[in-house]
Amino acid sequence: MSQIVSRAGTQRDTESAAAPSADATRSRAIIAGTLGNILEWYDFSVFGFVVPSISGAFFPKASHLARLLLTFGVFGVGFLARPVGSVVIGIYGDRAGRRAALTLTVGLMGVSTLAIGLLPTYATIGLWAPVLLTLSRLAQGFSAGGEWGGAAAFIVEFAPEGKRGYIGSWM
């Protein structure tokens, strides 16, 4: 540890002077974990709000009801992948660490959401459009399932004693 001498003539550690306090680190970790979860679920759920637009772009021009039902089916596929993601990413997190697992889930959610935004429409590539849309939703669901458990454990670990239930409830 390097030492510095203050104007008053006393020595103090430069590393402790530059390091944030434990409370600041704790607060940042809790806020980051909570915001990450909010953003992940926002990415996952925004699909449901734009179903009418997606149904017209990614499915054949059949009846409006059929397109909506197919699009809601693709929306539901994401929920089917959640338990698989929680098991697989949970095992990965146990082996590689929670940080690696959270990084993987956030990256996977970002890539799959970007893929949905960049997918060509049914008019452009035909049947591949709904297939790629379904695969992207599977990746989103897998990611969302894997992220929740790790993020919940992460923020509870940083919560102060006596407030773990309260802070954990933010997830």
**Domain coordinates of the chain in residue numbers?**
22-168
pLDDT at 43 over 80: no
Decide which of 64 and 9 is more confident: 64
For residue 144, how many C-alpha atoms fall within 13 Å in the half-sphere facing its CB?
22
Query: Domain 22-168 maps to which CATH number in 3.30.2130.10, 3.20.19.10, 1.20.1250.20, 3.40.190.10?
Result: 1.20.1250.20
CA distances to 22, 29, 72, 88, 150 from 118, in Å: 42, 32, 20, 27, 29
Mean pLDDT within 26-43: 77
Mean pLDDT over 68-90 rounds to 93
Structure confidence at residue 89 as a pLDDT band (50, 70, 90): very high
Q: What is the pTM of this model?
A: 0.76
Cα–chain center distance at 18? 31
pLDDT exceeds cutoff 90 at 92: yes
Average pLDDT, the chain: 83
Please give the pLDDT value at position 14: 47
For residue 89, give the nearest of 149, 49, 26 by alpha carbon. Answer: 149
Predicted confidence band of residue 18 (pLDDT cuts 50, 70, 90): low
What distance in Å separates the CA atoms of residue 104 and residue 45, rounded to the nearest whole number? Answer: 19
